[in-house]
Structure formats: C-alpha cells, structure tokens
C-alpha cells in the first residue's frame, strides 16, 4: 500500500541559527554554485520567461475599503517562487510582508517565511523562518563577486550605507579576502554609523582600523573594495555618484542598490552582474531608460546595450566567469563594477543547505500535514 503520510520540518529562527544559516563562508560557497547553475539555465522562476522576481501585491494610495492597507514606504506583500536543479532538485517560495512602520513596533521592516517543497509531489519538506536566510544569501552574492573579481591582496574596504545589507556584505568580503585590515564607513546618520562600527569591531576584532569617513568620496579613495548600498528616490540625479578620479586601479566596486558613475569610469571598467538575465527581464517591464526607474547598475547596463553604447559582450555575468566561459580578473589594475540584484533561486539554494543541515543534526520540529489526505 502506498504511504500517504506527509510530515514536514518547522524551523524557527533559533533553529535556523543552529542549523548554520549565519555561516557566511558556506553561504558564499553555495551562492557560487548557484550562480553557475543559473548561468547554465538549470532553474525556473516565475513568469512565462522563467525570470520573474515574483508576484507582488500593491495597495492604493487612499483607503478604498474599510481595513484595506494603503500604500506607504515598503508597504507590500510578495511571493517569490523558484525551482533549482543541479544537486538541489527542489522548489521553494519565499513569502513576505513589508511595512517600514514595523520599526516602531520593534520589528524588522520585512517579516519573511520560506516553504521548501518536493519537486515531484509538491509536498512541503520544511517551513522556515526566512529573515536571516534572505539576509545571508543576499550578503553572500557580493562575496561571490569579491572571490572572483577583487584583488587577492585586497586590504581596504569602503562601506557606503551602514545598514543590514552592508553588514552581511562585509561578512562575505571577510570570508573570501581575510587579509582585509581597514574598513571605512560613510553614512547619512550618525547613529547608523556608530552602530555599524560597534558591530564590526565586535564581529571582526582582527580588523585593525574601523573608522568613520566623511562621505562617498572618502570611502572610495584608496579602497580595494567599495560596497554601495544606499537607497534613494528614482532618477539618476538622486543616485549615489562615483567620480572616476576617486577609484584606484584594481578596485572592485559592489553595488547592491542605486548607483551612477562618471562616463570615463564606465569606459575604463569591466561590468559584471550577478545574473544578467534578471535585469534584462526586469527592464522589459519598465519604460526606457529602465535605470531612471530602477537604479541598480545592471539596469543601466541594459539601457546601454539597447541604445548601442555598449556591446552585449561588455555586459558580463558572474556565472559565466564561475564556469570559466569568460575570464575573471586578468591583471591587477582592472576595475570591476559589480551589480547585485537578488533573485528567488538564491533563497532556494541556501534554504536547501540549511534544511539538510537541520535534518542531519536533528534540529527543528517535525509537524504532520496528514497521515492520509481527506480528499485524494
């Protein structure tokens, strides 16, 4: 007789920590493997072209029905499904609600859950807390870029925007370039800078110099790695701007949010994205030029290829470098601009690894869906 019983694993946030969700070195390894699979095409995401970020619920600007939420900063619900092949062979979906007013309640802006599913039956394998899952997979992508593109002797990091994104980014940089000994931090608010410096000193006592600097220019000059994660309104005039003269030969500039650059800097740099196809798919949904709506650097590269200012071959993909289809750093003075956008397959990859750790270590709570379905 066929066994119809379905159990699944529930993993709380403390369970996730015990199962290794904050192991950044392992996460960077997982994201390196994932981006290679992505470049090869062994994945599926939402949409007819399999490259959609997900499905999002938008709210009206004014209340249209009693109790209906209204639009506001980061006010949304979103589902982000994906399937991943290779050694993973699973599907999953991240679900989250986001509201900037959560901060007033002592809660994160976004609260996330993740469901990992059997690829054949669709049965749940695990339901897990996903705030740390999402944060670490996002922060690991800059580390993948640094592993393949930053100078091996990188020592100085410039941090622009001392928020959560740049905390996990610094963790990933340290995982792949342990020789880093200096961190310069620039931010809009003193409290945020102070909190970041205190965290970095406690987290990385081996870093000899962690200091505040005045602005983006000071964070960029003489830095081997620059990480820019500063949200801003749409429109290139609002985006953080890096001047050519600030950037030293051999620098690796990682952009996880909005960015604009001097034209001369664009011309002397190599431009690599975490996943080129994502920006191309995203741009199809936006009016041209796409970068004026979504300020991530990869969107600007789509615009440049479309209007002929850049050849398609100049818009590079880190997965193809990982697979050795195109070369990584070829000489010490090469400057790289690396665009980080994020995508649901990253959650699937890291969730699978953490789930496997939990099963192996006996972590989490087994829950029963049914012994036999009431309707079959």
Q: Which two tokens stand for residue 172?
A: 């990933």
| 331-355 residues labelled b (16+ CB within 10 A) or e (exposed) | eeebbbbbbbbbbbbbbbbbbbbbb
My answer on whether 115 and 222 are in the same domain is no
Angle, helix 24-40 to helix 344-361, in steps of 10 degrees? 130
My answer on whether 153 and 251 are in the same domain is yes
Q: Which two tokens stand for residue 176?
A: 């792949």
My answer on whether 202 and 261 are in the same domain is yes
On whether residue 376 sits in a domain, the answer given is: no
Q: Which two tokens stand for residue 115?
A: 């469901």
My answer on whether 85 and 128 are in the same domain is yes
Measure CA 323 to chain center.
Answer: 20
What H or E segment, with its residue span, contains residue 8? strand 6-11
Helix (H, G, I), strand (E, B) or coil at 81: strand
Place of tokens 């159990």: 7
Nearest to 4 by CA among 324, 254, 370: 370
My answer on whether 286 and 302 are in the same domain is yes
On whether residue 67 sits in a domain, the answer given is: yes
What is the number of structural domains in the chain?
Answer: 2
My answer on whether 206 and 267 are in the same domain is yes
On whether residue 269 sits in a domain, the answer given is: yes
CATH code where residue 293 lies: 3.40.50.720
My answer on whether 110 and 206 are in the same domain is no
My answer on whether 172 and 311 are in the same domain is yes
- Per-residue pLDDT for the chain (376 aa), expressed as one digit of tens each? 578 999 999 999 999 999 999 999 999 999 999 999 999 999 999 988 898 888 999 899 999 999 999 998 888 899 999 999 999 999 999 999 998 888 899 998 899 999 999 999 999 999 999 999 999 999 999 999 999 999 999 999 999 999 999 999 999 999 999 999 999 999 999 999 999 999 999 999 999 999 999 999 999 999 999 999 998 888 889 999 999 999 999 999 999 989 999 999 999 999 999 999 889 888 888 888 989 988 899 999 999 999 999 999 999 999 999 999 999 999 999 999 999 988 999 999 999 999 999 999 999 999 999 999 999 8
Asked if the bond preceding 289 is cis, omega within 30° of 0, the reply is: yes
The pTM of the full predicted model, rounded to 2 decimals, is 0.93
Cα–Cα dist 286/272, whole Å = 21
Count CA within 13 A, CB hemisphere, residue 328. 16
Cα–Cα dist 4/84, whole Å = 25
My answer on whether 157 and 96 are in the same domain is no
The domain containing residue 233 runs over which residues? 140-343
């Amino acid at each position: 007789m066929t066994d119809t019983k379905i159990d699944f694993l529930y993993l709380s946030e403390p369970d996730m920590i015990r199962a290794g969700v904050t192991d950044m070195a392992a996460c960077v390894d997982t994201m390196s493997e994932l981006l290679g699979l992505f470049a090869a095409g062994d994945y599926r995401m939402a949409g007819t072209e399999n490259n959609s970020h997900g499905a999002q619920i938008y709210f009206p600007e004014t209340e249209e029905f009693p109790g209906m939420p209204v639009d506001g900063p980061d006010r949304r619900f979103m589902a982000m499904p994906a399937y991943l092949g290779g050694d993973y062979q699973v599907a999953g979906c991240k679900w989250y609600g986001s509201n900037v007013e959560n901060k007033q309640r002592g809660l994160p802006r976004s609260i996330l859950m993740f469901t990992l599913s059997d690829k054949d039956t669709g049965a749940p394998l695990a339901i897990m807390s996903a705030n740390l899952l999402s944060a670490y997979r996002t922060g690991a992508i800059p580390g993948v870029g640094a592993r393949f593109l930053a100078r091996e002797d990188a020592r100085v990091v410039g941090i622009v925007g001392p928020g959560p994104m740049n905390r996990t980014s610094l963790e990933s940089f340290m995982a792949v370039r342990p020789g880093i000994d200096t961190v310069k931090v620039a931010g809009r608010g003193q409290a945020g800078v102070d909190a970041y410096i205190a965290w970095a000193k406690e987290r990385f006592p081996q870093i000899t110099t962690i200091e505040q600097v005045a602005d983006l220019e000071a964070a960029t000059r003489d830095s081997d790695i620059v990480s820019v994660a500063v949200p801003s309104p749409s429109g290139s005039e609002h985006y953080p701007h890096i001047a050519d003269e600030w950037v030293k030969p051999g620098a690796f500039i990682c952009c996880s949010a909005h960015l604009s650059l001097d034209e001369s800097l664009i011309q002397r740099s190599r431009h690599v994205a975490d996943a080129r196809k994502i920006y191309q798919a995203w741009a199809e949904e936006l009016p041209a030029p796409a970068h004026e709506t979504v300020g991530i650097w990869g969107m600007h590269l789509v615009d440049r290829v479309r209007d002929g200012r850049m050849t398609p071959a100049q818009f590079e993909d880190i997965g193809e470098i990982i697979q050795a289809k195109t070369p990584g750093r070829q000489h010490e003075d090469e400057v790289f601009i690396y665009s980080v956008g994020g995508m649901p397959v990253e959650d699937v990859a890291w969730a699978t690894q953490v789930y496997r750790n939990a099963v192996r270590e006996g972590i989490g709570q087994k829950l029963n869906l049914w012994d036999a379905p009431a309707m079959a």
